[in-house]
């Protein structure tokens, strides 16, 4: 029997996914905004994108449709959504007056924030759960969610105090959502926690990391680690590690005038042509032109 692809897989051809560089940094680990639509009819088709950083959002007014990993859901005021690292996702506006807050978050911001207790709480858990197991806010708490989202948007993050306040409000919103996580998501989150050492290694390292080295940090065999990582994130650890190094490379290109040949060595690429080929594949632009276009 011929293998058939789901409509989601067919919809997500490599040409149709917009890979976004969110431009976050340790100094600016999150950004948020409320999109404005001039003409809702322009949003008749679902638009898909993916990015290294985490994403969450809250519908403030109207209705929208969200797509992720084959699942589809309709969201109204007070609804919340989560997207994990390099997770393809899409949306479509369903009502003329649709207003929602989008928050993009560096994974490292939430990586080290865990809270001890009888049942440890991980702020990353809503992002790592399967789409159908992610938190759904009950109607009794939707006004509270909308109020927190509006506060996050109003924060003046141009100074340290404003940034700290914005992060605090974000954590409150995530913790509120975790309160309504399905109990069946515990096993899924447990797998995620077992992979956290490799995920953290991949995020922090600027050099290539072997599957074997990553597996050792998780106390797993290389075969079990490879299967578990792909099951959890939908890509191999090698691809995840490479995308992270390219993300770091893009940051250095934006924020410094360091010669490309030095960057090549810093991030473990074979030579300049190697980086050139990979950068064009992932960003559809050469490193040099990317620097010219985006340098701060």
**CATH code matching the domain that covers 19-181, chosen among 2.60.120.280, 3.10.20.90, 3.40.50.620, 2.70.160.11:** 2.60.120.280
Secondary element (H or E) of residue 64:
strand 64-68
Token digits of residue 118: 């009888």
Q: Where in the chain is the domain with CATH 2.60.120.280?
A: 19-181
Sheet of strand 30-33, all strands in order from the earlier edge strand to the far edge: 30-33, 99-105, 54-61, 80-83
Secondary element (H or E) of residue 293:
helix 287-294
Q: How far is CA 243 from CA 223, 267, 283, in A?
A: 21, 12, 10
In angstroms, the CA 4 to CA 63 distance is: 32
Q: Answer whether CATH 2.40.40.20 is correct for domain 188-294.
A: no
In angstroms, the CA 82 to CA 89 distance is: 10
Q: Where in the chain is the domain with CATH 1.10.10.60?
A: 188-294
Q: Taking the model in full, what pTM does it have?
A: 0.64
**pLDDT tens, residue order, the chain (296 aa):** 333 333 333 334 333 566 677 888 777 889 999 988 766 554 556 777 878 789 999 999 999 999 876 678 999 999 999 998 777 788 888 888 889 999 999 887 886 566 666 666 778 888 877 777 889 999 999 999 999 999 999 999 888 899 999 999 999 999 999 988 765 444 444 576 688 788 878 877 889 999 999 999 999 999 999 998 887 666 789 988 888 888 788 889 988 999 999 999 999 999 999 999 999 887 778 999 989 887 65
pLDDT tens digit string along 213-222? 999 999 999 9
């Amino acid at each position: 029997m011929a293998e058939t692809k789901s409509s989601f897989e067919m919809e997500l051809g490599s040409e149709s996914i917009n890979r976004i560089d969110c431009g976050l940094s340790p100094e600016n680990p999150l950004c948020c905004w409320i999109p404005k639509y001039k003409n809702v009819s322009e949003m008749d088709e679902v638009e898909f994108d993916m990015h290294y950083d985490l994403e969450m959002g809250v519908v403030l007014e109207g209705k929208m449709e969200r797509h992720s990993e084959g699942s589809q859901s309709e969201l109204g005021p007070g609804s919340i959504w989560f997207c994990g690292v390099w997770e393809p996702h899409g949306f479509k506006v369903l009502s003329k007056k649709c207003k929602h807050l989008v928050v993009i978050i560096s994974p490292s911001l939430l990586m080290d924030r865990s809270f001890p207790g009888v049942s440890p709480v991980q702020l990353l858990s809503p992002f790592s759960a399967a789409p159908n197991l992610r938190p759904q806010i009950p109607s009794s708490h939707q006004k509270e969610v909308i109020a927190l989202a509006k506060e996050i948007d109003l924060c003046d993050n141009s100074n340290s105090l404003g940034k700290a306040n914005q992060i605090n409000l974000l954590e409150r919103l995530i913790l509120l959502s975790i309160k309504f996580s399905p109990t069946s998501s515990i096993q899924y989150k447990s797998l995620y926690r077992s992979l956290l050492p490799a995920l953290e290694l991949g995020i922090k390292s600027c050099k290539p990391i072997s599957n074997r080295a990553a597996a050792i940090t998780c106390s797993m065999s290389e075969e079990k680690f490879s299967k578990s990582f792909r099951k959890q994130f939908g890509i191999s650890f090698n691809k995840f590690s490479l995308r992270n190094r390219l993300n770091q490379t893009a940051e250095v290109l934006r924020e410094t005038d360091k010669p490309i040949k030095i960057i090549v060595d810093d991030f473990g690429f074979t030579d300049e042509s190697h980086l050139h080929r990979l950068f064009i594949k992932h960003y559809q632009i050469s490193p040099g032109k990317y620097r010219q276009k985006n340098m701060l």
